[in-house]
Structure 1
């Protein structure tokens, strides 16, 4: 339902998104049947295609050409897909969006090579654009994302971390790629430097808000809505904002001890979720998300007058207020 609502927000871009979707299918095609099947499995799991949307919306401020924009949007979505495959290996995740992950359907080795293949395809696609700035931004983005994956491994099951550590992690995990999507779409369309800066900052702020909400929904949504067990982030050792805000709570600590020991029962998982859902942590996390969302909307206000500003605002509000 939420995905349908998002599609309605950018229904006027449907024909261009369809072009990008077909190009993604071509991009994951491989001479290896194994890699081909694994890549298609990931692609067909779907997704909101948020990054391509922001590429197109950013480009609307300049010389919009879908044939050029698809060569920006496709590699950014590929990078996102590749990072998901690697994340599932790191987190030992069996389900994503209600479907078996690549590592679950095949194994860790196939998943890692599939992710590497998709990363490589992203680099191949971006070579179609001659602007060296585009290549520099994409390279910088990929380096930071990989650094983020390593940091995520280092931070697993580590309660002695603060808000700074969390925000640093989600910047690299989510916000950076959304920010780069807005920036690259605008740069490739020849948008002026000041507008590019506002779009880049907008993408960063909306990406931070989006990831905080994602972490809240991992607690608040049902297993069915998530397509995986609620609280999976914590069970996999990822300390998200709601848990970070409760780490010193004496009633929460026994649950954390059992999670880290791998002895948490199903009944205890349900009790833990109920406790977190009723705690101050959820409201605090939502407030932090709202602060980032407000900053994102301020960046939209600073953009030059253009009909697409309303679209940016609508998509940002959807991302910061979604239910799952």
Structure 2
């Protein structure tokens, strides 16, 4: 789906390994571990796709792509510390290898490195987009932490939270691509809306996979959200519609829940239409994303935007 920016992404990998090199060997080692752990590179890929609307100087647009991925990596490192996660994408997390203290500092280093790369290259408008989205992600994380193990949540609460934690950053990546090549206000806004809708669908799909996929597929334990008291859309739906809602409510509110309770909670969820309903919301967001693609994006370029939306709806990892 990213064939149109394949060469850009290959160059990005090389540049990532170059910019994280530090005289302090531990910084280089941990940062290299994070890069080699892989990932979809979804955000910089979308950024590159949005710059293809016009002929662009790769040397001029690459620093922002690197910054976007470094910021994403930084948030994942901090998330793993907060969640005390041992694995991500099936590989050991930085905190499980080097401890929380070093991992927090590496996250801070990656944030700083990202802004160092673009400080003298990006416009004030682009820098504001980046700083605003980091604020939004932090607010979303605090919001999520405050709401753990609470069962009185509505779908609107959940949507607002994933907007801040996930969708805003994907939206910003698309917006930054438009700004980097000087697209019109309307075109840039449309790209942002595309990214936002894609991001909402992406996170809902993530939360569906948490209760449907195998540990091998998602690279972390199944039911991890339930285990951490994170109330996602499938759980919210089941809490509203299951004949065993009181039992599920008790399970969701249990801290340090046993594996038996997790299995029972997932069983109750799967007895409802929670998964089907959640996928219907994914379909709604993805259809909007397809509809809002700017009219001037044509041919294989447009097909690439559609292919990304299709991937989000069908992915199983």
Q: Which runs of 4+ in 1 moved over 4 A?
A: none
Q: CA deviation at 1:107?
A: 1.7
* Secondary structure class of the residue paired with 1:237: coil
Q: Deviation string for 1:264-303 (max 9, x for gaps)?
A: 4334433433432342111111111111111101101x43
Counterpart residue number, 2:125: 133
Verify: 1:235 aligned to 2:224, yes or no: no
**What are the Cα deviations for residues 157-210 of structure 1, in whole angstroms up to 9, with x where unaligned?**
222221121111111111111111111011111112111111011000111011
TM-score, reference length from structure 2: 0.93
Alignment correspondent of 2:298: 306
CA RMSD of aligned residues (A): 1.8
Partner of residue 102 from structure 1, selected from 94, 118, 127:
94
Relative to structure 2, which stretch is displaced further, 128-137 or 48-57? 128-137
- Does residue 159 (structure 1) correspond to residue 155 (structure 2)? The answer is no
| Structure-2 residue corresponding to 1:316 | 309
Return the alpha-carbon distance in structure 1 between the equivalents of residues 264 and 232 of structure 2: 18
Say yes or no: does 1:114 pair with 2:72: no
Please name the residue that 1:45 is paired with. Answer: 37
Query: 2:144 and 2:23 mapped to 1: Cα distance?
Result: 32
Q: Under a length normalisation based on structure 1, what TM-score does the superposition of the two structures give?
A: 0.91
Deviation at 1:319, TM superposition (A): 1.2
1:11 and 2:3 correspond: yes
The verdict on how the C-alpha distance between 1:146 and 1:186 changes in structure 2, with shifts beyond 3 A counting, is: same
Aligned to 1:123: 115
What 5-or-longer segments of structure 1 have no aligned partner?
1-8
Q: Which runs of 5+ in 2 are unaligned?
A: none
Q: How far, CA to CA, are the matches of 1:12 and 1:289 in structure 2?
A: 25
User: Where do residues 130-279 of structure 1 align in structure 2 (5 Å cutoff)?
Assistant: 130-248=122-240, 249-258=242-251, 260-262=253-255, 264-279=257-272
Aligned length: 315
SS in 2 for 1:179: helix
- Equivalent residue, structure 2, for 1:4: none
CA distance in 2, matches of 1:238, 1:73: 31
Q: For the structure 1 residues 265 and 146, does the alpha-carbon distance in structure 2 shift closer, same or farther, using more than 3 Å as the test?
A: closer
The residue aligned with 2:48 is 56
Deviation at 1:34, TM superposition (A): 2.4
SS of the aligned residue for 1:247 comes to helix
